[in-house]
Structure formats: C-alpha cells, structure tokens
C-alpha cells in the first residue's frame, strides 16, 4: 500500500534530489506550516484580476466627450469659476393689467377669450351655417358664450357620451338648463374659427390656418395675463382627436393614441399655461442644424428669458448646447440627460442605471444645472 505524503514531506523529498549545480544560485526557502498542511490556491484564484475601483475624475483630470466637450469633476463646496445668475425672486401672479380688469369670473374668462375673438367666431359660424343650410341662421353672442360654458362643464363632469349630458340619470342639471341638446349640436356642426373663403390661400404658408387667428390671440392673452414664478416646466401634451389633418400624431405610449401634439410651458406651482405651441410637422423656419427640442424650448421661453428663471425639461429636451443658449439669456436649466447624447462622456455610456444616475449625472449637472462654460 502506497503511503500518502504530506505537502512538506513531498517538497523535502524533491529538493533532496535536486543537484545544487543546476540551480540559479537562488536560495529556496520553505515556509513552515504550523498545522501540517499548506493551503493551496487554485489556478483561477491565482490568475483572477483584483477588482478595480472606479476612478474618480479629480480636479486635475478631465474627460473629453465625442463632440469635444471637456468634463471635469468639481468637489462639493468648491467656488464656482463664474458668477451665478441672480434667481427670479417673485412668485407667480397675475399681471397688473389682469388684476385691474378682473373683478368677476366672467371678466376672468373674457381676459383669455375676448369679445373681439367671440365676435369673430360668431361671424364665421353664421357665415358657414348660411352657406350650408341656405336659410337664415343666426347665433347671438350670449348663446355662443353659453355653448362654450357647456363645453367647459363637459370637461369637468367627465360624462362619456354627448347624449348622456342631457339624460335624466347622468345629465348635468346646469347643462340641461342652459341649452337644448339639439341646439348645442347644431352650433357645434357649424362652429368655425376663420374665414373659410380665404383659408386655402392662408394654408399654403400656415398649416394651422383653420384656427391660427383665434389661437394666436388666446396664446397672447395667456402670456400677458400672468407672470410665472421662478420655475417653468416644458413638456408635450397630446390633445385627443381623430380629425383628418396633415399633422395628426400617433403616440402608442399615450392613453389616447391619436391627437394633435402641443408643446407646453407651465408655471410649476400654479400649473398655469404660460405658453403653448402646436406641433405641425417639419418647420421650414427652423434654422438648419438646430435641434427641434432646442428650438421648442427657446420659443416657449422667449417671453420669460433674461429674468433669472429656471426651466425644467425631460431627456428629450435637455442638452449642453441648450444650456449654453439659455445661459446667454440669463436662464438656467434642470433636467434628465439621455446618456446617448454626444456631449455625455464615454464613462457614462457603460455604467448601470443606478451608477449613471448617482455619479455621472452629478458631473453632468455641474454644466447643465449651473450652466458652466466648457473647461
């Protein structure tokens, strides 16, 4: 029976057979094993690389992105290399003109839908009805205002069907007492917001020609009636519709898949619509090379720039070039950043979601939130 040798005994036996003349003049030392056997490491454990810690970008280290943007990490508490923009101090409030003219709910409504706008809608609706019906058809101005009031009430009551608004069980008593259902449907069928006889000529340069006149007045009134506070948010809103038009959008992620998309800027606290733009497809007036997202933000924020406000966006809008444009107009930006953008450093593209959020975004927002210039 063959006797099993310990590790120490096997090494001593091998060394005793070695010819000293064959050695490289190096002493061979044996580490004594207090327990009798030496612990052996597997080949995997011997060759496996040690885990490396993620290198931090110090103040003397930089990283260059694909578009040439140079990034440098700044320690918390470090003095900024520029003078911060003085933040807008006032809260959102109605303008002096609006406060002076609004003394009731009706006057508040007329602040946005003015009498001139109502007269225009009345004229064009009557014109269309008489052309279609070939009879004398008339709609008084109070009747038009009652029609708009019912449209607003329908949005508040959430009744799914138009017929149900006048039903005995589901109907709203205020709607029932304001206007008969047949008259409401008659006005809705003929309702127009422009002169139909000149629409074809205007549509050659304005895709929104069917409503652009009234729409432009409404947006102007929204801008001039309220001063937003420090924080303004910019996002998109899909208005549900299946009307046939060249700029109808289909967005699968929205609850209502079809509709007209609007770009909206809102005051953060009051949720007031400060400015709004319809998306009509490719805009020939947009400068070549300028991103759609940057063009949208700059157009929406134009009435509120140069005052120290901040705009909050999602990763569709946020970019370094947009931050620089806003910085030149004394406006800051806060928003999530898409890591596939060319200005994001390469180290941010190969990290997991949590690491990217906690580390790389902190470096990115040194520029995007504070609008630091290129180093």
pLDDT in tens, the chain (375 residues): 555 666 566 556 655 554 444 444 444 343 344 443 333 333 333 343 444 444 444 445 788 888 888 888 777 777 777 778 899 999 999 999 999 988 899 999 999 999 999 999 999 999 999 999 888 899 999 999 999 999 998 888 777 788 888 988 888 889 999 999 999 999 999 999 999 899 999 999 999 999 999 999 999 999 999 999 999 999 999 999 888 888 899 989 888 889 999 999 999 999 999 999 999 998 888 988 889 999 999 999 999 999 999 999 999 999 999 999 999 999 999 999 888 888 888 877 776 555 444 333 333 443 343 333 332
pLDDT of residue 347: 79
Ordered by where they begin, the domains of the chain are 74-91+228-281+293-368 (3.30.420), 96-198 (no CATH)
Q: Give every CB contact of residue 190 below 8 A, 6+ residues apart in sequence.
A: 125, 126, 128, 129, 132, 137
Catalogue the E-assigned strands of the chain.
63-64, 70-71, 93-94, 226-227, 231-240, 249-250, 258-267, 273-278, 310-313, 332-335
CB 63 within 8 A of CB 57: yes
SS3 content of the chain, % helix, strand, coil (to 5): 40, 10, 50
Count other C-beta atoms under 10 Å from residue 317's C-beta.
Answer: 24
pLDDT of residue 352: 59
Q: How far is CA 268 from CA 92, 149, 224, 309, 344, in A?
A: 9, 27, 18, 12, 28
Phi-psi region of 321 (alpha: psi -120 to 50; beta: other; left: phi over 0): alpha
pLDDT of residue 260: 94
pLDDT of residue 6: 67
Q: If you count DSSP H runs as helices and E runs as strands, how many of each does the chain have, helices first?
A: 14, 10
Instruction: Give the separation between CA 220 and CA 233, rounded to whole angstroms.
Output: 19
CB 259 within 8 A of CB 248: yes
Q: Which of 199, 275, 198 is nearest to 235 (CA)?
A: 275
């Amino acid at each position: 029976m063959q006797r099993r040798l310990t590790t120490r005994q096997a090494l001593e036996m091998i060394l005793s057979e070695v010819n000293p003349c064959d050695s490289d003049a190096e002493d061979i030392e044996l580490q004594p094993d207090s327990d009798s056997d030496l612990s052996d490491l597997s080949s995997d454990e011997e060759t496996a690389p040690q885990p490396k810690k993620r290198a931090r970008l110090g103040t003397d280290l930089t990283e260059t992105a694909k578009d040439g943007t140079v990034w440098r990490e700044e320690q918390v508490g470090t003095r900024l290399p520029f003078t911060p923009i003085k933040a807008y101090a006032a809260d959102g409030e109605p303008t002096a003109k609006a406060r002076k003219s609004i003394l009731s709910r009706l006057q508040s409504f007329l602040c946005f839908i003015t009498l001139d706008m109502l007269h225009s809608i009345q004229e064009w609706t009557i014109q269309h009805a008489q052309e279609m019906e070939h009879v004398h058809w008339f709609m008084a101005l109070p009747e038009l205002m009652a029609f708009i009031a019912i449209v607003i009430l329908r949005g508040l009551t959430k009744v799914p069907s138009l017929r149900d608004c006048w039903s005995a069980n589901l109907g709203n008593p205020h709607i029932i007492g304001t206007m008969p259902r047949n008259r409401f449907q008659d006005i809705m069928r003929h309702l127009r917001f422009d002169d139909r006889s000149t629409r074809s000529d205007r549509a050659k340069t304005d895709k929104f020609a069917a409503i652009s006149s009234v729409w432009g007045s409404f947006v102007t009134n929204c801008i001039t009636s309220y001063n937003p506070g420090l924080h303004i948010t910019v996002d998109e809103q899909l208005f549900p519709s299946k009307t046939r038009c060249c700029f109808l959008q289909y967005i699968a992620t929205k609850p209502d898949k079809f509709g007209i998309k609007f770009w909206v800027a809102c005051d953060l606290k009051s949720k007031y619509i400060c400015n709004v733009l319809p998306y009509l497809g490719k805009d020939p007036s947009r400068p070549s090379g300028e991103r759609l997202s940057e063009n949208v933000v700059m157009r929406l924020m134009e009435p509120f720039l140069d005052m120290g406000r901040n705009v909050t966006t999602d990763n569709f809008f946020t970019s370094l070039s947009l931050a620089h444009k806003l910085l030149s107009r004394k406006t800051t930006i806060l928003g999530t950043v898409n890591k596939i953008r060319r200005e994001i450093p390469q180290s941010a593209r190969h990290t997991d979601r949590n690491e990217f959020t906690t580390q790389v975004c902190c470096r990115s927002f040194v520029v995007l939130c504070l609008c630091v210039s290129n180093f």
